[in-house]
Amino acid sequence: MILLVNYKLDSWLYPVRYVEEVEKYSTMYKVDAALVEAVIKEESKFIINAQSATGAVGLMQIMPSTGAWIADQLDEEFADLNDVDRNIRYGVWYLSELTAEFGGNKILALAAYNAGRGTVWNWIEKYGWDKNFDRVDEIPYEETKLYVKRVLKSHEKYIKFFNRTKD
């Protein structure tokens, strides 16, 4: 009985939605599906048409300017970021690009997803960080530091509770 209660609590605290899209684009862009779920959980709580005060849109909270840039990179017309499939595809593609840009460093990629790639490059230069950076507490923006910590915690929970594998 306790196991069932814990499972229900885990499912409530760490929901899994849009599995088909997450699996499809995680595989396509070689991003850990548990990490994508963690980003969606922390960005939008899985609310389809979420919009931040700064204007970020959809499940993966993509800024319209970033969405337009992604559409250009994918050689397609920019369209509605509230579309579930498009939002997840763009977000996973962007997460994949950031991970590659920062040498596979998940912490730097997540920080860039939150604070912007230029900001993270400035920190790398200013503080002498390298591709092995793992000191989340040294991230100078409190919001970004807390965001990265939340995503990493959620990532571990998605791996544990839902038998996901690490990348």
> Considering the domain boundaries, does residue 4 fall inside one?
no
> Considering the domain boundaries, does residue 22 fall inside one?
yes
> Considering the domain boundaries, does residue 166 fall inside one?
no
What average pLDDT does this structure show over 139-155?
98
Q: Is the pLDDT of residue 7 over 70?
A: no
Q: Is the pLDDT of residue 161 over 80?
A: no
**Reported confidence tier of residue 165, pLDDT bands at 50, 70, 90:** low
Residue 120 falls in which region: left (phi positive, over 0), alpha (psi -120 to 50) or beta: alpha
CATH number at residue 146: 1.10.530.10
Q: Is the pLDDT of residue 146 over 50?
A: yes
76 is annotated as an active-site residue: no
Structure tokens at 137: 């507490």
Q: How far apart are CA 131 and CA 159, in angstroms?
A: 24
> Considering the domain boundaries, does residue 5 fall inside one?
no
pTM of the full structure: 0.89
Question: Which residue spans within 10-157 are E strands per DSSP?
Answer: none
Q: Give me the catalytic one of 43, 77, 142, 156.
A: 43
> Considering the domain boundaries, does residue 7 fall inside one?
no
Q: Is the pLDDT of residue 102 over 80?
A: yes
Q: Which domain holds residue 144?
A: 18-161
**Reported confidence tier of residue 2, pLDDT bands at 50, 70, 90:** very low
Q: Per residue in 21-42, pLDDT tens? A: 999 999 999 999 999 999 999 9
> Considering the domain boundaries, does residue 156 fall inside one?
yes
> Considering the domain boundaries, does residue 1 fall inside one?
no
Which residues, 6+ apart, have CB-to-CB distance to 53 below 8 Å? none
Beta bridge partners of 62: 57
> Considering the domain boundaries, does residue 10 fall inside one?
no
pLDDT for 5: 36
* Candidate from 22-26, 78-82, 132-136, 157-161 with smallest mean pLDDT: 157-161
For residue 140, what is the DSSP state?
S
pLDDT for 141: 98
Phi then psi for 51, rounded to 5 degrees? -140, 130
Q: How far apart are CA 117 and CA 24, in angstroms?
A: 25
Provide the domain count of the chain. Answer: 1
